[in-house]
Amino acid sequence: MDSQEEVRLLLEGRFVENGITEYTGDGSVDINGKPVLKNNTGNWKACPFILGTECCERLAYYGISTNLVTYLTNKLHEGNANAARNVTTWQGTCYLTPLIGAFLADAYWGRYWTIAVFSTIYFIGMGTLTLSATVPSLRPPPCVDSICPSASFSQYAIFIVGLYMIALGTGGIKPCVSSFGADQFDDTDSKERVRKGSFFNWFYFSINIGALISSSFLVWVQDNLGWGLGFGIPTVFMALAIGSFLSGTPLYRFQKPGGSPLTRMCQVLSASFSKWNVEVPHDSSLLYEVPDGVSAIAGSRKLEHSDELKCLDKAAVISDNEVKTGDFSNPWRLCTVTQVEELKILIRMFPIWATGIVFSAVYAQISTMFVEQGMTMDTKIGSFTIPPASLSTFDVVSVIVWVPLYDSILVPIARKFTGKERGFSALQRMGIGLFISIFAMATAAIVEIRRLQIARDLDLVHQDVSVPMTILWQIPQYFLVGAAEIFTFIGQLEFFYDQSPDAMRSLCSALSLLTTALGNYLSSLILTIVTILTTKGGKPGWIPDNLNEGRLDNYFWLLAGLSFLNMLVYVLCAAKYKSKKAS
């Protein structure tokens, strides 16, 4: 068998060495850059290490973020609105920094080394934050009566450095772990492709196991045993995450980095602009593409031509001068069809991506306004006091309940009606989640209306005290947000991995995470605008420090209305979306 035939069969996943076993057909390699055997690597045998990494890392992250608003208000003595803004801004940054990790992973380092490097940064940040909460001189003294001294510049600076090192570290990990896990399943194998759909469900399940421990046990530790221990435990789990990830190295399948995706997109724009007066041929087969079975882009399959955005096709038109000289090597003047299609895919995905921002703003309420609402309610169940932030446990429980139900019950039922191997398409799944999110915000508003009514009946409006309404009334709103997560966030993971070009999967995963960042920023912006507009004329506003004087219900109704409008836009965009076609 000649070498060209071996390459062809290897790409198709059918090449057999010594009659023993098959190689993967998606171009994956081992850590030494050699083609990998299906039976010895990847699949579910490699996934426990990745799922363990994600579970421990998410436990560390939520161990910080879930109760952070309480730390800011009770230990650093910030006001409610300011603390909520700082938390959402930091959380937004945690979902903005994935662009850095994704670029390095796709262009240069690959997903494995990007995860390893940024995990180390993450661990150092966790240690710094733990130190700031443990050493008395690194935090402000406690309140005396109503006098609460603010943190000094140096105290606040050390806290912020640790916090934003965590943001950088988690940013390098987030876009890579889910994609690296999905890389363990061969796209050219129909059985492994179905298993990859299940992987995303169990990946999100692992996230929420970590979140469950954080929102229950760790929140209790922070509120009752101290913040030094409460931040120290997540630091230990971050070390365990690194150990779990490195332990699976011999079993992993690796995708080669394909070079800078930003450079390739700029090349398409440059080439199409330089040929703005060139006519695109009606026969797409006349457009430039490398003749071999392998794409010119490392780690990528060829993409079939699509009829949309024909102006970009000019980048793949072979000019008369290029025909005469036979020089097709300048990518700034001539791009392959696959390279052009990469940019087209990103543009087609943009409207779907944008509709995830409002949903992320709704999700941000779990760690901000839901917590502050809970702090004004009766947190005692008998002799036990429930930390308000620990109510997010019910969001996590909702997810943990829904994942196996979805995977084992909903998918087989839906498959009978839709004929799709995963039951629902990723777009259908996301739409269902957006619909549920409307009811989550409406439920929160109804609970707040009842709470304010009790405050008025008992003449507690002008007293900054808890209202005798059990905090357990918040459970439905947390449960509904969890149900919405299962559909929208996991749908996003599937959509941005499956629809992204092969050599841009980390970047597209980062773009899906960017919706969470922008959702947090949107939440901060809405909070700022609402505060400015509703406090005019000396009014307390919708969200004052004493929520008994406010109208938090109006804020929740506003988010419900925005969610409804967002869902309508999403339905229109999803109906027009055309999926990619890889050769």
The domains of the chain, with CATH numbers, are 43-251 (1.20.1250.20), 261-341 (no CATH), 348-576 (1.20.1250.20)
Mean pLDDT over 325-335 rounds to 81
Instruction: Answer whether residue 552 shows pLDDT above 80.
Output: yes
Rounded distance between C-alpha atoms, residue 201 and residue 567, angstroms: 23
Question: Can you read off the two tokens belonging to residue 189?
Answer: 């194998």
Banded model confidence at residue 235, pLDDT cuts 50, 70, 90 = very high
Average pLDDT over residues 332-353: 88
Looking at residue 544, its pLDDT comes to: 85
Across 4-8, 58-62, 502-506, least confident range: 4-8
* Tokens representing residue 512 in the block: 């899906």
387 secondary structure, DSSP code: P
Of 520 and 244, more confident: 244
> Strand (E) positions, 283-416?
377-378, 380-381, 384-385
Q: Which of 80-94, 249-263, 555-569 has the highest mean pLDDT?
A: 555-569
pLDDT of 26 = 67
- Which band of pLDDT confidence, cut at 50, 70 and 90, is reported for residue 545? confident
Q: What is the pTM of this model?
A: 0.74
Rounded Cα distance, 23 and 38, in Å: 5
Encoding tokens for residue 327?
């020089």
The full length of the chain comes to 583
Confidence class for position 213, pLDDT limits 50, 70, 90: confident
**pLDDT: is 11 or 457 the higher one?**
457
Residues of the chain with pLDDT > 90: what percent?
20
pLDDT level of residue 307 (50, 70, 90 thresholds): confident
Per-residue pLDDT at 560: 94
**pLDDT score of 10:** 46
In the predicted model, what is the mean pLDDT of residues 494-515?
Answer: 82
Mean pLDDT of 356-370: 87
The pLDDT of residue 16:
45
Residue 350 above 70 pLDDT? yes
What's residue 141's pLDDT?
Answer: 76
Question: What is the Cα–Cα distance from 480 to 160, expressed in whole angstroms?
Answer: 33
Mean pLDDT, to the nearest integer, of 145-164? 82
pLDDT over threshold 50, residue 458: yes
Q: What is the pLDDT of residues 16-39, one digit of tens each?
A: 444 434 777 767 788 887 888 877
pLDDT higher than threshold 50 for residue 330: yes
What confidence score (pLDDT) does residue 404 get? Answer: 84
Is 419's pLDDT higher than 80?
A: no
Q: Is the pLDDT of residue 438 over 70?
A: yes
Residue 300 dihedral angles phi and psi, to the nearest 5°: -135, 145
The b-or-e profile of 315-339 (16+ CB within 10 A means b, else e) is: bbbeeeebeeeeeeeebebbbbbbb
Residue type, 79: G
Mean pLDDT score across all residues of the chain: 83
pLDDT bin (cut points 50, 70, 90) of residue 382 is: confident
Residue 299: pLDDT band (50, 70, 90) is low
> When comparing pLDDT for 353 and 156, which is higher?
353
Minimal CA–CA distance to 394: which of 199, 196, 200, 216? Answer: 216
Confidence band (pLDDT; 50, 70, 90) for 13? very low
Q: Examine the pLDDT at 443 and tell me if it is beyond 90.
A: yes
pLDDT of residue 3: 45
Distance in angstroms (rounded) separating the CA atoms of residues 436 and 567: 10
Give the DSSP per-residue string, 201-227: HHHHHHHHHHHHHIIIIIHHHHHHT-H
Q: What is the rounded distance in angstroms from the CA atom of residue 326 to the CA atom of residue 258?
A: 25
Between 348 and 6, residue with greater pLDDT: 348
Q: How far apart are CA 508 and CA 511, in angstroms?
A: 5
Lowest mean pLDDT: which of 16-30, 50-64, 95-109? 16-30
Quick one: CA dihedral 46, 13, 418, 356, positive or negative?
A: positive
- Residue 319 pLDDT more than 90? no
pLDDT of residue 50: 92
Separation between Cα atoms, residue 338 and residue 503, nearest integer Å: 11
Task: Look at residue 508 in the predicted model and tell me its pLDDT.
Answer: 83
pLDDT for 293: 65
Q: Average of pLDDT values for 375-384?
A: 85
pLDDT score, position 567: 94
Distance between CA atoms of 425 and 428, rounded to whole angstroms? 5
Q: What gap in Å lies between CA 558 and CA 358, rounded to an integer?
A: 11
